[in-house]
Structure formats: structure tokens, C-alpha cells
Chain A
Amino acid sequence: MTDDRARSAGDDEAPASQAIGCAAAVMTPIRAADPAARALDDPRATAATSGSSGVPTAGSDAAPTRPVPSQLERTSARNPAASERRAPDPVATVTIVAVAVIALVLSWLLPWWVMKARAPQYGQRTLVVEIGPRTVEGDIREIDLLGHYVGIQPMGTIAHIERTIAPFGVCATILGVLACGFCRRRWLRVLAVLPAIVMPVLVLVDLKLWMVKTVHDRNQDSSLNLTVKSIDPKLFGEYEVGQFKVATELGGGFYAGALASLLGLGLAFAVPLSIGRRRVVAIVLGAGVAATIAAPAHAAELAVGNGYDTIAAAVTAARDGDVVLIPEGIHHEHVTLDRSVRLVGRPGAVIDGDGEGTVLRITAPGVEVRGLTVRGSGSTYTSEDTGIRIDHAADVRVVDTRIEDTLFGIFVAQGDRCVIERSTVIGKDLPHVRRGDGIRLWYSSGCRLTGNLVERSRDVVIWYSSGTLVEDNVVRTSRYGLHYMYSDRNVFHRNRFEDNQVGAAIMYSRGIELTENAFSFSRGPAAYGVLLKDADDVFITGNRFIENTTGLFIDGAPQSKDGRVDVHGNLIARNDVGLALQPLSRRIRFWENAFVGNRGQVQIVGTGSADENVWAVGGRGNYWSDATLYDRDGDGVSELPYRLESTYEVLADRYPALAFFDATPAAEAIDLAARLFPIFAPRPKLTDPYPLVQAPLTAWTRSDGAATGRAGFAVAGVALLSLGALCVAGGVVRV
């Protein structure tokens, strides 16, 4: 039957089967040299091959609906000589492109890789996780929970970059395939289809790498690590993790992608197409019009005040994906967003809870809140009165929003992958102890906090929330700038924690990067720039610790045998105590830090000595403002080691009256006294073998926020003055 159909198709001068045959031919250019292969070029001879090649009929169906083949096609179809020169039919090219594009679209929609897991505790149920370019779907919560027992990080936190670029990648691939058809030069064609060709391989390689990495980076403290010693994951096939039997296989998406890949290869050798300029314009215009019509049809806009008296009414009328617009003005409401809408405030739009309860509650995934001011929550702890509360809803975004006069600012409870961006939280004017948290993440993984300002609150809390990115935020005049526990693999970058009571406390976690943050002016009785307790794999690089009661306090870190803590390139200056080390803090590497003018540079708590830590890496130690230095060879490293054995600190600890003598010659005098009366045997605290001659400051550690501000003002002032001068000058000239 396929034979007949192919034949009739060939008679109609639109031979789909022929096209596919050609595709097969171009895919095997070498074989085309032998007679059997050459026979394939004969349209009638190919019919049988195509019929049994198992190519989806979608391709054959699609071909006739395409624009009528061009002149060139017709000639080549009629001209057997052309066939013999293996110049394929343009129809073939169109078909290949069409099939490849359809395959790519399918690959976008279908899972690429499927993992099925079974375990006794789930009975007959099989846990399935499907990984595709769009999403990771299925029983992720269950798998994550199981993973946490053997120290595997939540799936939502894996391959973040890949998942971000996936849509662009697939779009590029499709565009490449489309473009390929029109490229005249073969190398251009190869280039255009290259993404399609390599994508399946890349995906598999990436997946495998992630699997290896995830297994390798297992959290050593997980409860079942004793029983599950090693995990050997497989890309395809079966393996066991504890009592779990896991089977993995490739999904439909992969096969579709692989098909597109093969077709792409063929396409590189197919005949180029050409389209008239007018048609191009028409297609572009048509697509544009279709897009503009389709987009609003998909997401309706509901404006409050225009048919809806209240925000709640508009939300009730909205469907998933709709936009609810809030006009300027104060809306006295408590709103619950229970569907995936975008709540967008016009400038001056305010939702005011009038000092009662929680103002805005989000219970649906994918909600976006933008450009609003939310204010006036209640102030009752037991009901946790909040500005914006995200409750069991993933992928919520809060952007450009201002939250004022609330007990809690933003409270995220089980809201994975939430994004809080460029928002401001200013708490109620209450004493510290009566405030709520500015931002609180509880059990919400994969979130991003970027560019926010939190003031006059209690804490920024991150608990049980892994894979968080905290970047460019400012937390001021609060209690804990950061209160961070049981959360792994988080990144803190360029944040400023200032004037807080306690500072940043980071506890019971693994995998934390602190880079280029400023921890300053934490001045409470138990205040720290950063308090680090029982944590592993912490990298503290290029931060500023300035004017705190204690700059950096480390206790019980690293806590695991293979855990690491690196403190590198930080500026620790003008604190009462620069660095405080509890005796369980061992194997920490300190290098190229600048300890400048701290009242006590390093405090060793308890009986310990700091010598179990590393004070120089690669022949470079730290800069100590109180060091006696001698650098004969001028390599910037002193030949005299720095020994911290000041008795003064020990005494000041004991007799706070001595603090009076701070930074005076008296402190030195007491050290002198100690040497005169050896009854105070000074106990050496640490030795830096390679102290630096100059403070190794980076642009970030050198810059002081306030100074930058002043410099900015100065520049702006000069600019304004110049402008004024120009205007005046201009006026003078005109006059």
C-alpha cells in the first residue's frame, strides 16, 4: 500500500517519499557512490525503502500542505540527469526541515530522560521523574526527600544554568534548522544545523556529568550515609540506592531530538531553498500579527476600578495567566491570590491592610506581584501577620514591590524557586524584640533574593532552604542581618549587612559562598559580622568586616573530615575582635586577608591555639596592621613571621577596665610588664609564617560604601555645576 501511495505521490510531482529517499541519500553520501545507493536516487526505486523506514507519517502528511515546489524543484524532478548528479529535490529539503522542526517541537514537549524508582515504603507506587528541556516533572518532592537521606541535593537546584538557557537553545536550534534550508553555502548550512546535531549528545553528556557530580557532592552528614556508602547512577539501565530500585531510560523527547539531529545532518547536504522577498515580508508580518493577537487572547488584563470594585473581585474573575492591574490609590483590602495571576500595580498603587492580619497571601504557583506597595499588616506573632505571604506555592515572583509597616515583610513557606527582586521591606516602628522578619524563607529551595532592601526588621531568615542566591541586597538596622540554618549550597554575593544587632549567623549548613559582602557596624552585646557555626565547605572571599563587636566568629567549622573553610582576601578592620576562633575550628585556611586595627586581631576562645589552622597559602599569609615586618627581598612577604601572643587581650578579657587603655601605649606597657614579670606566661596564639607587607585590598574591600556615596555626590555636584555654568555661559552668549 505504501508502494502505491508513493507511486501516486510521485505522479503528483510532490513526492514525499522521494524527498525522504533523498534525505536518506544525502545522509549517506559515501555509500551513494556504489550502484545500490545510486539506485536510491531513482524516485521509484526509493519507494520501498521509504515505506519501511519508519519515518513518522506526519512528515509525509505535512509535505503536500507546504507551498508548491519551486521551478527548480520541478526541473530536477523531471530531469533524471539532475538526479544522477545527486542534486536533491527542494521538496525533499522542505520536508526534511518540516519533519526536523516538528521533531524539535516534540522534543521540547516530551521528556528526554525518565527515571522510575520503586521502594517498599511506596508499595505499588512507582515514583517517576521526567526530565525535559522545559521542566523536571513528576514525583520530585518524594525523590528529593529520599535523596536528602543519602545527601543528594534537591532536583530543583540542579542544572540551573542549563534550564535557564534551554528555551533559548531549543529556539536557536529550530531557527537554525529553518535557516539552514535557505543557506546557499554548505558550511553555513552545517553551522546552522550544528545545534540540532549536537543537542542530544550535549544533553546526555550534561545529564551524565550532573549525575556524577550530584553523587560525588553528597552531603556527608545525611542520615543514611552509613548504610548507603556509594551510589552508582546510570544514564540507562537499572541500579540500586539502598532499598530503592531505580530504572532509567531515554524519553520520547530524546528520540525526537535524535531524529532532528539526523535530519539536520541530512539538511546540511540538501538543496538550498529560496523564497521571494515579498513572501518573507508576508510571513514575518503574518507571524507578527498572529503573535499580537494570540498573546492578549492568552493573558487577559483585568483592571481594578474598571468593572471590578475590588482587587479581590478582579482576582476572582481572573483566570490563570491573566493580569490584574491595580490603579493608583490606596486600596484597603486583604487579598488572597489563589490562581496564577500577575498582580501589577500602576505607580502609586497601595494595598493597605489597615493594621490587621496578613495583607497579601499567595497560594497559587507562578504568581507575579509587581510595582505595588503593600503595607499595614497586623502585629500579632501568633497569626504571623505579614505583608506578603507565599504559602505552598512555587515559582512566585515579587518584583519592584515595597512593603511597609508590616510585622513580617515577605514570608515564604514552602515556596520553591521564588524570586524576590528589587523590593523594599521596612518593618514596623517597634523595638527589635517586637519586630518580625523582613524576609523569611522557610523550606523553600531554589529561591533568588536580589537587589532588595530590608530595614528596621528583625531578621532575614533562610531555614531549610537550599540553593538560594542572595545577591545585591542591603539589610540594615535589623536584628540578624541573616539568620541562616540547615540550608545548603547557597550563594551570597555583594550584599551589605549593616547596623544590625547580631549580624549574619550561618549555622548547620554546607556549601556556602560569601563573596564581596560587607558586614559592618554590628554592635549588639553578642554581635558578629558573621557567625559561622557547624558548617562545611564555606568560602569567604573578598568581604569586608568592619566595626563589629566581633568581625568573624567561627565555631565548629569545618565540622566534617572532608569539609573546607577558606577565608581569603577579606578586610577585617576596626572590630573589637577581628576574628574569634572556638577550639573546634580547625583546618581553616586564612590567606591574603587584611587584619587592620582590630582591638584584638584574633581571639582564641577556650584552651585552643589557632595553629591548627593554616595561616598562609602558596607562600602568602595575611596582612596584620600590628606586625613587625621585614622584607629584605622586596617580594611583598615579610621574612619575619607574625606571632600573635599578646597578653593584653587575655587581660582585657579578664579586666574590662583595661579596655580603657585601648589603642594606647598602655596596652604595649602591659605586654612589657608581662615580659618583665614572667608570672604571666603569654601563650602563643598563632603564627603567620608569611605576613604580607601591604594590605591586599581589592576594589571591593577598599571601597567604603559611605565614601562611594560621597564620591558619587561629588561627581554629580561637579556635573551639575558644570551644566549650570554652561547654561549661564550659553545665556551670556545668547544675550
Chain B
Amino acid sequence: MTTKGRTSAIVLALAAAALALLSRPATNPAIGTSDAAPGGNPLDEIIQQRGLTPDEAEAALKTFVPPGKYDDFIMFTSGGHRGTIMLYGIPSMRLLKEIPVWAPDAWQGWDQGDIASGEIVKKGSFGAGLPTQTWGDLHHPQMSLTNGKYDGEWVIGTDKSAGRVAIISLKDFKTKSIYKIPNIDSDHHGVFTDSSEYIIVSTFFPEPFNEPNGYAPIEDYKTKYKGNVSFLKFDHEKGRIVPADSFQIELPPYFQDLSIAGRGPSDGYFFINSMNVEMATGGDLEGKPSMEIAASQREMDYLHVIDWKKAAEVAKDATKTKMINGIKVISLPTVVAEKLMYFVPESKSPHGVDLVPGGEYVIVSGKLDPHVTAYSVEKIKQAIAAENFEGKDDFGVPVLKYDACVAGYIETGLGPLHSVFDGNGNGYTSHFLDSTVVKWTIGPPYNPPEKAWKVVDKVSVHYNIGHLQAPASNTRKPSGKYIVALNKWSVDRFPPLGPLHPQNLQLIDISGPKMKLLSDTPSIGEPHNSMIVPVELLQPWTTYPETGWDAIAMRHSDHATEQGKEAVTRNGNTVTVNGTLVRSHFTPDIVRVKEGDHVVFNWTNVESARDATHGFGLHGYNVNLSVDPGATESAEIVASKAGVYPFYCTEFCSALHMEFTGWMLVEPKKQEAKK
């Protein structure tokens, strides 16, 4: 304080320097620090009025999509136990669509009286003895690949609650089939191989599927319960699973969790994370440690390395497989004898197993270890060739020497879970405990060795991030630009509207050297994981290619009706209504049936204008069809109760939409009885 003048001079000089520094990162100097005094630039006035910081103003500009313009990317996000897939636009983060998969959706007429979707759901359920399952826990949407790149054709969803795979066509964004995988009752994760030869699905809960009635007491867990990985042959053309060419591999009763199929140097290999190699079974009320205690006892779990191409060859040999519940199964002893699988120790309770774009490194994060571990595929191959084993597990599967497989570690933070990649040689890992996304450098050839496996940036997210996703991250050619953090808790980010809070999808700009948080978006359902693709990749139909289209079979419908050929026909007590929909009437708009009749409605929307979807909402019988332009949809009811039941178009379609109505008259049966 003694040399006051000099101090203030220094202060002022440094202030100027600091300001210069501040203005640099801002893209638009007019918005950034700006030399304008309040009241100058109108943009600054808005910014001031709204109390925005320069970063917030910048973020607003970066995420704004002007009216009539499209987003650059589409994100497919799992809806969790809402049983759907959500589609968001990036960077606006607008919710664009929700595809119903496991659960009924009245708007889109999914499993809401519609015959075709009803059958899909029924066929995809557990089967005889158990009810049709009309909910599911959708995890991890994945897109079909051609030569290691997203091809924009098909998307699959897996169901942790049931062990089934749904296939969605990206021609009309509708679920085409649900395949209930035999022998498993849960699948957390499924992936396509590099060119979609197979969909590989690891189960989560081991089960005694090889035992009579699928039952064995839990005390026989180690001997009779088995893990399982399914290789489902995929008919890329038709978008269907071919059960006859599919097979399964029996695994030790660990929890086989997330997985990834190799590409490039790792082509032909399949990697699965596992948990609970302790083979704990719980039993806390029976005097045993509870599940989470017992399953966290040991230091390491096992990364499963499966030579799936070799396994596919073995599966073709009938002497080496066994048919169990309609699918070929390679038993665990055969797996060991044929050298199809090796283990690599991995940090306990891992979440993510991710492959760098070129396929050279497998990235694993054990959530209790503040490091991310990078395994070199080359080293793993060498260790396999040299039989460099640390030992064997209880089932004889060789365990490769840990140190012989590791390429590097990155000390990233607490609770690392999943990693994604940007195409510029960087990885990004989510951290549940720290609530951060950490950016780090991949090893050679992406970066020179001295710059490899180093943390370069970190950004806070809000809060408790689970998965994160970057455009085309899980392919040979990631697009970079953005990351979406899928945060489990939103806490204080949105106005509280009751005690169930949404999760928080946060958009992060990764185009510069520093990551920047751009926006918060509340989720619907539980977005476990997502997949982001450039919007140009999607080339869907805007209306169906032909009038009278069967959306499920993807061809002309057997029940299509041309305009002018509408009819109501009776065969015994079955009444079939072949009708059309057009703005603004049903033909026929009066349907006369008798109490107890079996009634089938086949409605064809004969329009070909975009957006001209019509609905068929039938009172009293729990039916709502959504009939898109060109489509034929069917519903089936038993007219169990006499009365007059109006029906109407549920989708507002025209000026005369309110008149778009009809009647179903169910004549009482007892009049006949009286006669």
C-alpha cells in the first residue's frame, strides 16, 4: 500500500491483459466481452436483461436451430423401462420422436388393439405359462453396421427385463420384430458385428437353462447355473434374425455385461465385461452376505475375449453343439477345448468396455478404480499365442497375464464408467462419482507415445453421469463435434414438478480444445445409453411406397382395400370390415354386427399426402389404430356386449376432422333367443 500509484498501474495493466485473454475464446467478439457499454449493442442488452454470462450467450447461439432448419445429428436414446427409443435432434436437443418397442403406445397404435403389433409383442414374450409382457427395459440402441460404419438401415434394442431383441426399421421408424432369445431372460446389451453378420447379445443373469424345467436350486449355482452369450444371425436385407443359423456359447455363471465386437486388428474378437466372478448369490435373509457385499469381495473381474469367428465355425459342427430349447449351444468344456475364449483380469465391477475407432485398444473402466485401463489387442493376441497365462478360472478358462495385455492407464478421476471417441485421437470418459467428463489422448498411432494416455481436459456435468455418447463413436469413423452426457440425476437443474425428477441430458461442445457445456435437456424415461448419427444418414420414407402397405411385413398387405371396393362380409359369426380412410370419412361408416360376433377391421389409409395420418378409435373395445398414409392396419374384437359404439379419427387431419366418425352397432343376441 505504500507505493499506491505503482500498484494501481500494475493492476490496470494486468486487467487489460486479462480482458484480452477473456475475449479470445469467445467466437463472436460482439457477444463476448465486447467493448460496448450497456445500452450499445442490442444483443448485449438482451444478454444483460437475461443475466447471461458470455459462455451462456455463446451456448445459446451454438444450440439454436432456426425455424424450419434441421438439426445436424439425431440421437437415439433408450427410454429404459418406458420401453421406447427416443429421438433427439442435436444441437437443439429437441425431442423429435419416440418409437414404441416393449410397451403399448396409443398415439402410434402400437399394441393397442392392432393385430400385427399385438402378435409381435406376444411372440416376443416369455411364452407358455407366463403372461404377455407389455413392458420392457430398453437398453442401448445400436445401429446396423456395414464395414464398421453405421448404415442407417436397422436399429436394435435389448431388454434387460426379458432377454429379447427388437429390430426397428429406419425406413418407417417402426418395430418390425421382437425375438425372444431362448435360454436367457435378460440382456443388458447387444451389438452388431463389424458388418452386421451377427447380433451378439450377452445375458446378465446366469440361469440353469440346461436343467429340466430350467430349474436348479440356487445352492447349485456354481455347477448348474450358466452364463450365456448369443450369436444371432442377422439377415441384413430383411432385418430379421435367423434362429437356425444362430448359436449360443455357454459361459461361467458370472454376470456378463456390456460388450463390444472387434474391428480392424480386433476383427473377429468379441469382448465382454463381467461382474460377480465371486459367484455370489445373495441370500441376505438366509444368513449370507447380501449380493452387493459378496460380489465386491474380489479384486478383479474378467474381461472375456471370445474368438467369435472361430466359434461360428465350431457351431457349424453338429458334434460340438447341443440343441437346447431350439438353439445350438456350445458347452463350456467345448469352449475351453476349442480355445474359443480367454479371460483378461479387469478392474472390479467394470461398466464400460469400449473400442477405439481403429479397433487397436479396448478401453475398460472399473468404477471403483480411478483409472481407465487400455488393453492392447495386439498384446492380447500375443499373450494368447504365447499362452502367457496367469492361471485358470474354476471352469478351466485360461486367464491371460494382466501386465502382458495392458497398453496404458489413464488416471482420470473417481467412478469412471464409459468411454467414447471423437475421431481426433481423443477419448472421453464419464465419471459417476466426480460428475465429470474427462478428455484424454489415445495411444499410438493416434498420438505419439509421449503424448499418449494423458488427461487433457475435464468438464463438470450435472449430476452423476452414467453413459455418454458422441456421434458415430462406436464406429470406424466418429464424427466428433458433440458429446451428450446422460446424467442420472438432475437435482436442481429443472423446476421441481413432484418428487420424480427427470434425468438430465447435457450437450457438450467438443469441437475446441476445451469442452464446453451447452445445454440441459430433461429426459423422458431413463436414457441409459444412446447412439448419435448424422441426420443425412437417415433416408426414411415420408409416406409408404404403395397404398395398402403392410408395415410389419414391409410389402403390399393381404388385407389392403382399394377405394371403391370397401365391403363388410360375414362368414359364420366372423364379420370382416375391409374399409378405407380418407379425409374426412370412414368407408364404411356404419358397421352392423351381432352380439358375440368376431369382428375384424382392415383399414387402409388411401391417402399419399405427407402427414395425413388417420386414427381409428373405437369406443368400448380398447382399440386405437394409427393408420399412416398408404398403410393398412387391422384390429380384431369380439363384440361381447350389445350397444352402439361410435368410432372416430383420433388424428386431427382436416377442416372436417370432427365429422370423421362412424358407428359400430352391436345388435343384442337375446332377441334371437326369444324367437
**Which A residues lie at the B interface, using CB under 8 A?**
121, 141-142, 145-146, 148-149, 380-384, 408, 413, 431-434, 436, 442-443, 463-464, 479-480, 483, 486, 501-502, 505, 507, 524-526, 531, 533, 555, 582-584, 605-608, 650-651, 654-655, 657-658, 661, 664-666, 668-670, 672-673, 677-681
Contact = CB atoms under 8 A, between A and B. Distances in A.
Contacts of B289: 443, 464
A463 B296 contact: yes
A665 B14 contact: yes
| A443, A605, A608, A669 interface centre (most CB from chain B within 10 Å) | A669
B54 interface: yes
A597 B296 CA distance: 41
A666 B391 contact: no
Interface of B: 7, 10-12, 14-15, 17-19, 21-22, 25, 33-34, 38, 44, 47-48, 51, 53-55, 284-287, 289, 293, 296-300, 345, 368-371, 373, 390-391, 399, 402-403, 409, 411-414, 431, 433-436, 455, 458, 460, 462-463, 491-493
A145 B433 contact: no
Contacts of B411: 432-433, 501, 524-526
A239 to B, nearest CB: 20
Given A384-B299, A583-B491, A658-B21, 6 more contacts: A408-B299, A433-B371, A479-B370, A607-B493, A666-B15, A679-B34
Contacts of B19: 673
A606 to B, nearest CB: 5
B463 A582 contact: yes
22 contacts: A121-B285, A142-B287, A146-B285, A382-B299, A433-B371, A433-B411, A443-B297, A486-B293, A526-B412, A531-B433, A582-B435, A582-B463, A583-B491, A583-B492, A607-B462, A607-B492, A651-B22, A655-B21, A661-B18, A669-B12, A672-B15, A679-B34
A626 to B, nearest CB: 16
Given A380-B390, A443-B297, A525-B411, A661 B14 contact: yes
Contacts of A383: 391
A524 to B, nearest CB: 6
Contacts of B34: 679
Contact of A678 (B18, B38, B297, B413): B38
Contact of A381 (B55, B402, B433, B460): B402
A658 B25 CA distance: 12
A669 B298 contact: no
B345 to A, nearest CB: 5
B390 A382 contact: yes
A434 B412 contact: no
Contacts of A607: 462, 492-493
Given A380-B390, A526-B414, A606 B462 contact: yes
Contacts of B53: 650, 680-681
Given A606-B463, A655-B22, A381 B435 contact: no
Contacts of A146: 285
A503 B460 CA distance: 20
Contacts of B7: 665
A463 B348 CA distance: 14
Given A665-B11, A669-B12, A669-B14, A145 B287 contact: yes
Contacts of A679: 33-34, 38, 44, 47-48, 54
A5 to B, nearest CB: 52
Contacts of B15: 666, 669-670, 672-673
B398 to A, nearest CB: 12
B3 to A, nearest CB: 12
Given A142-B287, A679-B33, A679-B54, A669 B18 contact: yes
Contacts of B18: 658, 661, 666, 669-670, 673
B11 A672 contact: yes
B414 A121 contact: no
Q: Among A145, A413, A505, which residue has the most Cβ atoms of chain B within 10 A?
A: A145
Nearest to B489: A584
The 8 residue pairs across chains A and B that have the minimum distance between CB atoms:
A526-B413, A669-B15, A666-B14, A433-B409, A381-B300, A583-B492, A669-B14, A665-B11
B370 A145 contact: no
A148 to B, nearest CB: 8
Nearest to B277: A382
A486 B298 CA distance: 16
Contacts of B414: 502, 505, 526, 531
Given A502-B414, A665-B11, A382 B21 contact: no
Nearest to A146: B285
Contacts of B22: 651, 655
A136 to B, nearest CB: 17
Contacts of B373: 433
Given A380-B402, A502-B370, A665-B11, A145 B345 contact: no
A525 B287 contact: no
A208 to B, nearest CB: 28
A505 B370 CA distance: 12
Nearest to B286: A121
Contacts of A463: 296
A154 to B, nearest CB: 13
Contacts of A121: 285-286
Contacts of A413: 297
A149 B285 CA distance: 9
A383 B371 CA distance: 21
Contacts of B38: 678-679
Contacts of B47: 679
A146 B413 CA distance: 36
B55 to A, nearest CB: 6
A654 B513 CA distance: 12
A434 B297 CA distance: 18
B89 to A, nearest CB: 25
Given A145-B287, A666-B14, A677 B33 contact: yes
Contact of B370 (A149, A381, A526, A583): A526
Contacts of A142: 287
Interface core residue of A146, A606, A608 (most chain B CB under 10 Å): A606
